[in-house]
Amino acid sequence: EKAEFDFIAPTSVRFSQDSQHLAYSARQGQRFRLVLDGKTGNQGYDDMPDAPSLFSPDNRRVATVARRNSKFVAVEPEHEGPQYDEGWDASLAFSPDSKHLAYVAVRRGRTIIVVDDHDTCEYESAFRKLVFEGSESVRAVGTRFDSALREEVVSVAIKVP
C-alpha cells in the first residue's frame, strides 16, 4: 500500500546512482517524512529541507536532515541520529564503503563533527564540508577568524570512531 502525501518537496527528489531507488521529503498532515521507494519508515518531523537526500556509494543507504522541536537531526529511513541545535544538510557525507555517515552539527555554539552518531570533537571553526579520506578518516574543511579578525581556511582530519 502506497502512502499519500499532502506535499512533496520538488527539489528533494533524488534517484540513487544506480537508478534503482527514489527518495524525497514529503508532508503528511503536519509532519514531514523521508520517503524511500514510496515507503515511510521514519518518524514524522516538524520540517525537512527542500534539498536532495544523499545516497551512499553502494546505493543501500539514504540520509537527509530534519527538525523536531527546534532541534536538528540526521535521518535515515529506519534511523534517527542525536539531536543538535543546528546542522547543515550540505555537510552529509558517506564513506566510500558506505559504512559511515558523517555531518556537521552545532551544540551550545560549538561546531561538532558527528560520525556514526558519535560526537568526535568540538571546534570553534565553522566547518561546512566533509570529505572521507578512505573509510578510516574524514576531513572537515571550513573557516575561522584569527586574532586580527581575518578569515582563514581550516582543515582537520578526524579518525572514524
Residue range 12-51, pLDDT digits in tens: 999 999 999 999 999 989 999 999 999 886 678 999 877 8
Across 121-138, average pLDDT: 86
Q: Residue 98: what residue type?
A: S
The confidence score (pLDDT) of residue 42 equals 67
**Pairwise CA distance, residues 96 & 73, whole Å:** 22
pLDDT tens digit sequence for 79-129: 999 999 998 788 899 999 999 999 999 999 888 999 999 999 888 777 878
Q: Are the C-beta atoms of residues 76 and 62 closer than 8 Å to each other?
A: yes
> What Rg value do the Cα atoms of the chain yield, rounded?
16
Side chain identity at residue 21, one-letter code:
H
Residue with cell 530534519: 66
Cα 41 to Cα 25, 61, 138: the distances in Å are 12, 13, 28
Residue 61 has pLDDT above 80, yes or no: yes
What's the predicted TM-score (pTM) here? 0.88
What size, in residues, is the chain? 161
